[in-house]
Structure 1
Amino acid sequence: MGILSTQEGDPVAVENAEASSRFILVCEHASRQMPAKLGTLGLSPEALESHVAWDPGALAVARSMSRSLSATLVYQRFSRLVYDCNRPPDSPGAMPETSEVYEIPGNAGLSETDRQERARSLYFPFRDRLADLVRERIAAGRAPIVVTIHSFTPVYFGKARAVEIGILHDEDRRLADLMLEAAAGDELYNVRRNEPYGPEDGVTHTLKEHGLANGLLNVMIEIRNDLIRDDVGQGVMADYLTGLLVESVPASSQK
């Protein structure tokens, strides 16, 4: 039966599906929307608007990049607090009981049946749609380049973060190396490797599942969310990141 009503539609959205470039942009934490069946998970409006429920600004940046790069965009339509699609079902972080300073009452003590229902409703449709898209592109001779877009809070557990853009990778560092090399030539942003998170934090699940497993170029981009709070900031950041990707991947390899 699932946790989504017919009126709520699909958990995963795909935009620019017929895009001409090899880039596939992924935004796992695009939305703070909650399924009606689950209410607010016992959280206050403040918590539901905060970074624990979603990645503020990430979808707007990803959409702008999708247009500039002629890239397909895949994103999750419901909050990561219900199910974090950048985590496998057996991960405690897939349906967290706490997130930073917030306890998530609606995730406390979930039964195995509840966990499976959430995974069936949100994770597997997302994973399968992305996997199908990757498989279709490979079969058509257009091996995709997988780029995931995230944002992070400038203050975490009371500690300010100096990093502004994180270029994250798992074992395959090819694209990350090229982007970091390109970013080293300017002083626009504080750009760092595997910060504020890295593989040891379990954040590279999508990269491993869809990039590494298929031998594809892949990278995860983390943006400090105070830089993308409005349309202007989002546009500037999208242009900058688009430039890094274009500089890092030769034009002949983008299509």
Structure 2
Amino acid sequence: MPSMQACEIVAPDADPTILLLCDHAANTVPAEINGGDLGLPPEDMARHIAYDVGARAVTLALAERLGCPAVLSTFSRLVIDPNRGEDDPTLVMRLNDGSVIPANRHAGPDEVARRLADWHRPYHDAIRGIIDRAEARGVRPVLISMHSFTPQFRGRPPRPWHVSVLWDRDERLPAPLLGLLREEGDLVVGDNEPYLGALDGDTMNVHGTRRGLMHALIEIRNDLIASPEGQAVWAERLAPILRNAVELALDRDREGA
């Protein structure tokens, strides 16, 4: 049995119209993996390579403000990345933004299979369970995945965006969400920046695209939410934007039905 649960589930019985997800909420390493230590110095485990800085706190605050359920990972993305498909070559990273991950250097197929069984799959099973229960009640949840990104990769140009919306082929939610963020006037808003939202096998692809659910991934630049004060500001600011974007998307979807 794993020494820890693979996810944290918040308000599972709340209104599931919106379901918040946080794939990279923690930088925890389970005890079964090299005694709970990937061999990296603390400063690396505190960086974006180990988790999405500030994303957990913003997700929890949004769940409270929106009155909706949330599923958050409890393990570091360096253990195994839940936002990657099971056959993705970056599922267990051996090098990330200039740092070698010693405990992953010799992780062979058996070790990857163990991490999939103990942490990756249970996280996705929890998401699937909430969606299944919601659909049994006649509700098609709108999925919003919360992430953060580093202001600058080593040796690369600074990233100017404050917040970005990542999406693939379904623009029902991204379109109104991008519009409302741009209406704020003081934000540099990215559209599929600094990454593309089309990644086969990632969380939004598996639970959103493949199930036909409205979805979007939000990226906030992590220096803006590194402190409790910044996290509170962004949660307060995003909550009405997300609520309004979901209402617009659902209204337009009903009109087009």
* TM-score normalised by L of structure 2: 0.92
In the other structure, the counterpart of 2:126 is: 129
Match of 2:27 among 28, 32, 45: 32
Deviates more, 1:202-211 or 1:56-65: 202-211
The equivalent of 2:246 in structure 1 is: 249
Displacement of 1:199: 3.2
Name whichever of 223-232 and 243-252 sits farther off: 243-252
- Aligned to 1:168, which of 160, 166, 169? 166
Q: Does 1:192 align with 2:190?
A: yes
The counterpart of 2:11, out of the listed 10, 16, 21, is: 16
Instruction: Choose from 82, 85, 93 the match for 1:85.
Output: 82
Query: Is structure 2 residue 210 aligned with structure 1 residue 213?
Result: yes
**Residue-by-residue CA offset, 1:15-43 (whole Å, 9 max, x unaligned):** 11111251100001000111112232111
The answer to whether the Cα contact below 8 Å between 2:172 and 2:249 also exists between their aligned partners in 1 is no
Structure 1 Cα separation of the partners of residues 159 and 200 of structure 2: 18
**Residues 80, 115 of structure 2: 8 Å contact kept:** yes
Match of 2:149 in 1: 152
Alpha-carbon spacing, 1:203–1:222, altered in 2? closer, same or farther (3 Å)? farther
Native 8 Å contact 2:164 2:192 kept in 1: yes
Residue pair 2:166, 2:218 contacting (<8 A) in 1 also? yes
How many aligned positions are there? Answer: 248
Provide the rounded CA distance (Å) in 1 between the counterparts of 2:76 and 2:69: 21
Q: CA deviation at 1:251?
A: 7.9
Read off the aligned partner of 2:15 and give its amino acid letter. Answer: S
What secondary structure does 1:132 align onto?
Answer: helix
> Residue 78 of structure 1: CA displacement?
0.8
- Tell me if 1:231 matches 2:228: yes
Q: Secondary structure at the match of 2:140?
A: coil
2:255 maps to none
% identity of equivalent residues:
33
* CA distance in 1 between partners of 2:148 and 2:181 (Å): 18
Secondary structure in structure 1 of the residue aligned to 2:139: coil
Choose which of 180, 191, 215 in structure 2 pairs with 1:182. Answer: 180
Gap regions ≥5 residues in structure 2:
252-257
**CA deviation string 1:35-79 (max 9, x = no partner):** 112232111111111111001100000011001111101011110
Aligned AA (1:170): D
Indicate conservation of the 8 Å contact 1:170/1:204, yes or no.
no
1:188 Cα offset (Å) = 2.6
